[in-house]
Structure 1
Amino acid sequence: MGSAPPAERTAEPRQAGGQAAGHAARTIGVAIPIPHPYGRELQRVRESFGDRLAACIPTHITLLPPTRIDAADLGAIQEHLTRVARSERPFGLRLHGTGTFRPVSPVVFVAVAEGMDGCARLHDKVLSGPLAQKPQFPYHPHVTVAHHLPDEQMDRAYKELADYEAAFEVWGFSLYEHGADGVWRPQRHFLLGGGTPS
């Protein structure tokens, strides 16, 4: 699934920095949240396809896939993400149409038609310093709308959203943590260029 969104990998979370997790391990992800009304709209559509993960995952574009860290490293990670955000500026992003990673991975997604370069720059910068890791797949920004569903539901998602389109400004990205209940929740927002989200 390219760099997979938080909670949508079937594999174990990656370990940041190649270090063994301590007893106070947490699983985090970093992603660009899809703003209102598009984020909730796509979440509802995903739910309509029968994807049980939809209720646990805010609609997003992944920058850092699920990664296990030691809680003691969280401060350094937040400082790193602050520096990354300050080094970039808001940019436009347009979603259009659908794509799939099948048969390699059972995912159907809404495609990023404009703004891929900005996403890729953020991804590369986030995956450095205390979050350095080798990506499992080449990075391909996308918005998952169906994951691990029967083929007929995957086909339905691919067809029903083929004409989907949305455009918005990316103001920043968010640090998410995977809760014991399986829900991914934003913990902190990082503003590109140090601005304020509208």
Structure 2
Amino acid sequence: MNYGIVIFPSKKLQDIANSYRKRYDPHYALVPPHLTLKNVFSADDDQIKDIAGKLSVISKKYDPFNLKVYKVSSFQPVNNVIYFKVESKPELQGLHDDMHNQNFMGDEPEFAFVPHITIAQKLSNDEHSDIFGSLSMLGIDHEEIIDRFHLLYQLENGSWTVYETFRLGKEQ
């Protein structure tokens, strides 16, 4: 089965992201707006129980932290993805790194970790240029406290749902 690990922002930020995603993101109906900590990976039932145990340990290493979204950016020319840029924090980097070390799943991420929330993807070059031109003028300035992350699994129809939620902090 396919799994992934994400942070879901507040409903307020999800609503802002979805106002663009419903027009520019073909994955709009499959998963809510999110910040990916670990991309899609496969695991069987026994492996996922072990992974969930490791995620529980990881969650206790980090306290809740401030998430700041401060501009619209793009991954072009690597790919035509437009996103809300999230300020890098030691907690975010640590969570990402812990989920990619040899004691976890052992696989290296395909790209360097750039904290973000996707708002448009799978665009042609012309679409990307037009949409990014207008969205990059948006003023986005949002802050909130993040106190949990989620292990998701993929359903047969391609959509994603929560398998387990992990609260951050030592006092759980």
The alignment status of 1:83 with 2:83, answered yes or no, reads: no
- Counterpart residue identity of residue 47, structure 2: D
In the alignment, the residues of structure 1 paired with residue 126 and residue 39 of structure 2 have an alpha-carbon distance, to the nearest angstrom, of 27
CA distance in 1, matches of 2:160, 2:19: 17
SS of corresponding position for 1:193: coil
Checking the alignment, whether the CA contact within 8 Å between 1:145 and 1:157 is kept in structure 2 is no
Q: Is the 8 A contact 1:116 1:141 kept in 2?
A: no
Is residue 2:36 matched to residue 1:62?
yes
Matches of 1:35 and 1:195, distance apart in 2? 22
2:26–2:122 CA contact under 8 A, matched in 1:
no
Q: 1:170 aligns with which of 129, 146, 154?
A: 146
Of 65, 70, 95 in structure 2, the residue corresponding to residue 122 of structure 1 is: 95
Superposition TM-score, scaled by structure 1 size: 0.79
- Structure 2: 5+ residue runs without aligned partners? none
Shift of 1:157: 4.0
RMSD: 1.7
Q: In structure 1, what residue type is equivalent to 2:71? A: G
1:43 and 1:55 in contact (8 A); partners too: no
* d(CA) in 2 for partners of 1:35, 1:156: 28
TM-superposed deviation, 1:117: 2.5
Number of residue-to-residue matches in the alignment: 169
Are the equivalent residues in 2 in contact too, given 1:76–1:130 (CA < 8 A)? Answer: no
1:103 aligns with 2:74: no
Matched, 1:34 2:34: no
**Gapped regions of structure 1 (runs ≥ 5):** 1-25
Could you say which residue in structure 2 is the equivalent of 1:92?
A: 66
Distance 1:195 1:184 in 2: 29
Is the deviation greater in 100-109 or in 159-168? 159-168
1:18 — aligned with what?
none
Query: Take 1:88 and 1:29, find their aligned partners in 2: how far apart are those partners?
Result: 19
- What TM-score, normalized by structure 2, do the two folds share? 0.90
Deviation (angstroms), 1:74: 1.1
Deviation at 1:152?
4.3
Shift of 1:195: 5.5
C-alpha distance 172-108 of structure 1, shift in aligned 2 (>3 A): same
- Residue 100 (structure 1) shift: 0.8
Whole-Å separation in 2 of the counterparts to 1:44 and 1:143:
13
**Distance apart, 1:132 and its partner CA:** 2.2
